[in-house]
Amino acid sequence: DVKVTQSSRYLVKRTGEKVFLECVQDMDHENMFWYRQDPGLGLRLIYFSYDVKMKEKGDIPEGYSVSREKKERFSLILESASTNQTSMYLCASSLFGTRVGYTFGSGTRLTVV
């Protein structure tokens, strides 16, 4: 069964900490995405990558960075976590140009205290 795996389901971090959210897919997909989900706002795109070492900003990249050193892994980095980054984070992947949409991970609920 093909999968997108996010390393943590729940995470609690302190303000100012550097936070890494990891995402791994086993489908050889070119594209990978990080979304943030907040009530009433839906899913908003933070960053995406369409190839190894390539990245593009989404709609809300401020306060985040990403890393894609290998095709299967896409990391989201909060350089200095703040309370307004408390949210649900969803990773997804897809083939280039696919008509079938994305495959999603099951999300990481991050709380910054």
Partner 1 sequence: AQTVTQSQPEMSVQEAETVTLSCTYDTSESDYYLFWYKQPPSRQMILVIRQEAYKQQNATENRFSVNFQKAAKSFSLKISDSQLGDAAMYFCAYRRRETSGSRLTFGEGTQLTVNP
Instruction: List interacting residues with partner 1 (CB under 8 A).
Output: 31, 33, 35, 40-45, 48-50, 56, 58, 88, 90, 92, 96-97, 99-102, 104, 106-107
Q: In the bound complex, what is the minimum distance in angstroms from residue 59's beta carbon to partner 1? A: 9
Q: In the bound complex, what is the minimum distance in angstroms from residue 45's beta carbon to partner 1? A: 6
Residue nearer to partner 1 on the CB measure, 63 or 104: 104
- 104 token code pair: 């999603």
Residue nearer to partner 1 on the CB measure, 9 or 18: 9
Report d(CA 61, CA 67) in Å as an integer: 13
Q: Burial letters for 64-88: b for 16+ Cβ neighbours within 10 Å, e otherwise?
A: bebbbeebbebbbebeebeeebebe
Handedness of CA 109, 92, 62, 39 (dihedral sign): negative
Pairing state between β 56-57 and 4-6: unpaired
Residue nearer to partner 1 on the CB measure, 77 or 104: 104
Q: In the bound complex, what is the minimum distance in angstroms from residue 50's beta carbon to partner 1? A: 4
